C-alpha cells in the first residue's frame, strides 16, 4: 500500500474518531415546553404570603444564548391581596451527569407584569417572589437524556456547551470515547 493511501486512511479514521466523540442534541421549543409543563405548577408558601408559578412557556434567546421560561405568577397575602401576572424565569443551564438531567440552576424571577397595578406594588411583589423563589425554585427540570436512544445513551458524560440556534436548544455532549 502506498504511503499516500496509508496517510489518507489514517486521516479518515482520525476525522471519524473526532466526529464520533461529540454528540449534539437539538431540542425544539415545543419539546422543552412539554417537559416544563410537567414540572409546574410550583407553589411556595410562608405564614404571610403564597406565590404560585404556572403555565410555563419556553424562551429561547439566540442573541443572549439563554434559555428561560415565561410563567404566570399568582401572589397572595391572605386578607390583603391576591394578584396574578406574567413574569420570566432565567437561570444557568446545568447538566447533572449522575442523573443525566438538565436543569435551570439558580433561577431568578424578573420582569413581572401585572395589569392595573402600580409600579411600586409590582416591584414589591417581584422582590417577595424573588426571595421566596430561592427556596421554591432552586432548580427547574429541563430535559433528561433517554436510554432508548443509543446516541443519547452514549452521550451521558459531559456537557461541552449549550447554545440557542434557529429556535432550538443545541446541547453539545462529549462522548466517553
Give every CB contact of residue 155 below 8 A, 6+ residues apart in sequence.
23, 25, 145, 173, 175
Higher pLDDT, 111 or 58: 58
Nearest to residue 25, comparing CAs of 173, 148, 147, 144?
173
pLDDT at 5 over 50: no
Give every CB contact of residue 55 below 8 A, 6+ residues apart in sequence.
40, 71, 72
Mean pLDDT of 36-55: 86
Q: Where are the domains of the chain?
A: 23-174
Q: With pLDDT > 70 as the criterion, what percentage of the chain qualifies?
A: 75
* Long-range pairs for 143-149: beta carbons < 8 A, 24 or more residues apart: 143/27, 143/31, 143/32, 143/35, 143/101, 143/102, 143/171, 144/35, 144/99, 144/100, 144/101, 144/102, 145/25, 145/100, 145/101
pLDDT at 137 over 90: no
CB of 25 closer than 8 Å to CB of 154: no
CB of 70 closer than 8 Å to CB of 59: yes
What are the E-state strand segments in the chain?
22-28, 42-45, 50-61, 66-77, 81-96, 101-114, 139-144, 158-165, 168-174
Q: What is the pLDDT of residue 71?
A: 92
For 23-174, which CATH class?
A: alpha beta
9 pLDDT band (50/70/90 cuts)? very low
pLDDT at 166 over 70: yes
Query: Which tens digits make up the pLDDT trace of 67-124?
Result: 889 999 888 888 888 888 898 888 778 878 788 788 887 788 888 888 877 888 777 7
Does pTM top 0.75 for this prediction?
no
Higher pLDDT, 56 or 130: 56
Alpha helices in the chain (DSSP H): 3-20, 29-39, 119-136, 150-154
Nearest to residue 171, comparing CAs of 28, 29, 24?
24
Amino acid at each position: 500500500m502506498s504511503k499516500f493511501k496509508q496517510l489518507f486512511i489514517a486521516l479518515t479514521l482520525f476525522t471519524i474518531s473526532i466526529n464520533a466523540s461529540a454528540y449534539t442534541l437539538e431540542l425544539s421549543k415545543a419539546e422543552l415546553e412539554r417537559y416544563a409543563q410537567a414540572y409546574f405548577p410550583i407553589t411556595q408558601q410562608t405564614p404571610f404570603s403564597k406565590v404560585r408559578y404556572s403555565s410555563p412557556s419556553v424562551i429561547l434567546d439566540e442573541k443572549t444564548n439563554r434559555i428561560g421560561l415565561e410563567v404566570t405568577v399568582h401572589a397572595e397575602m391572605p386578607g390583603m391581596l391576591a394578584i396574578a401576572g406574567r413574569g420570566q424565569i432565567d437561570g444557568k443551564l446545568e447538566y447533572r451527569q449522575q442523573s443525566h438531567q438538565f436543569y435551570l440552576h439558580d433561577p431568578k424571577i424578573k420582569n413581572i407584569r401585572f395589569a392595573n397595578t402600580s409600579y411600586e406594588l409590582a416591584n414589591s411583589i417581584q422582590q417577595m417572589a424573588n426571595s421566596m423563589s430561592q427556596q421554591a425554585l432552586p432548580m427547574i427540570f429541563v430535559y433528561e437524556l433517554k436510554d432508548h436512544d443509543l446516541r443519547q445513551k452514549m452521550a451521558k458524560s459531559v456537557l461541552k456547551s449549550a447554545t440557542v440556534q434557529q429556535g432550538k436548544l443545541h446541547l453539545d455532549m462529549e462522548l466517553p470515547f
